Amino acid sequence: MRQIDLSGKTAIVTGSSQGIGLETAKTLHAAGANLVINYFDDGEGKNRALADAAVADFGDRGLACAADVRQPDQLEAMVSKAVEKFGSLDILVNNAGILRDKSFRKMSHEDWQAVIDTNLTGVFNSCKAAVESLSENGVIVNVSSLSAVTGFFGQANYATAKAGVMTFTKVLSKELARKNIRVNAVAPGVVNTEMGESIPEENRKYMMTQIPLARFAEPSEISDVILFLCSDLSSYVTGQTIHVNGGWWA
């Protein structure tokens, strides 16, 4: 049976000090990759401490690196550090994201812009910073959301950004195919992370009734699909969004 082996490959996972990003970093590391844990420096040291703890477990195959995905220069510096330490860049997982849920009438321009800047422009920024350094046969995986196709109430900003990520994924897959770089996305439903748990209890109860598998996802159920997309087992898959949502299409 073919096994996934990412030995000698280097991956950057944005926003990976916690949640789906951290689980993805651990999963790719366990498959042999060198890992750059990108964290957002929140000024309180929380994300840095989480990133440092993860990297301590990764030994020589880990590097913690602060960068705000809204800041192209910080992302360029991170890519340079990754290549300097590990010699190549082969995998980019664009995972960083935020929520600022409000109904449209209550949503401020700032709520709109913050989510577009982080969840959509942030993906553009990190691809831009990485593209010239990504090796031939490199891989990009973007984290979208079920909300991109359902348009959940209160998520005009988030759903729009995540739909943009899906379309961006298709365009980039065509443009980077000549370098044999594959570009795909995963679109989770609700996942048991800080973000998933921030959804009001009443909404979570209703959502649960819509999910055929009748539960939310564990982060590892998303990171396993990302691992597949980062591996040669998906060598003919590009431009796709893989929906990981327990069968939920409401």
Ligand X SMILES: NC(=O)c1ccc[n+]([C@@H]2O[C@H](COP(=O)([O-])OP(=O)(O)OC[C@H]3O[C@@H](n4cnc5c(N)ncnc54)[C@H](O)[C@@H]3O)[C@@H](O)[C@H]2O)c1
Q: Interface with ligand X by CB under 6 A: which range of 10-18, 133-141, 205-213, 233-241? A: 10-18
Distances (CA, A) of 158 to 105, 111, 148, 173: 15, 10, 8, 23
Backbone angles phi, psi at 217, to 5 degrees: -85, 150
Q: Which is nearer to ligand X, 114 or 135 (CB)?
A: 114
Binding residue for ligand X (CB under 6 A) from 15, 138, 154, 164?
Answer: 15
Q: Which is nearer to ligand X, 4 or 161 (CB)?
A: 161
Give the position of tokens 């959804």: 199
- Reduce the DSSP state of residue 185 to 3 states and report it: strand
> Which residue type, as a one-letter code, is found at position 201?
E
Q: Is there binding between residue 21 and ligand X (CB under 6 A)? A: yes
Residue 118 DSSP label: I
Q: Is there binding between residue 96 and ligand X (CB under 6 A)? A: yes
Q: Is there binding between residue 145 and ligand X (CB under 6 A)? A: yes
Q: Is there binding between residue 97 and ligand X (CB under 6 A)? A: yes
- Which residues belong to the active site? 158
CB of 158 to ligand X, least distance (A): 7
Q: Which is nearer to ligand X, 154 or 196 (CB)?
A: 196
Name the helix (H) or strand (E) containing 81: helix 72-86
Q: Which is nearer to ligand X, 48 or 135 (CB)?
A: 48
Backbone angles phi, psi at 119, to 5 degrees: -85, -25
Q: Is there binding between residue 17 and ligand X (CB under 6 A)? A: yes
> Interface residues for ligand X in 47-86 (CB under 6 A)?
47, 68-70
> Interface residues for ligand X in 164-223 (CB under 6 A)?
188, 190-191, 193-196
Question: Considering Cα of 179, then 94, then 35, then 87, what sign does the dihedral take?
Answer: positive
Of 126, 125, 100, 98, give the one whose Cα is nearest residue 111: 100
Region of residue 218 (phi > 0: left; psi between -120 and 50: alpha; otherwise: beta)? beta
Q: Is there binding between residue 140 and ligand X (CB under 6 A)? A: no
Residues near ligand X, by CB under 6 A: 14-15, 17-21, 40, 47, 68-70, 95-98, 118, 143, 145, 188, 190-191, 193-196
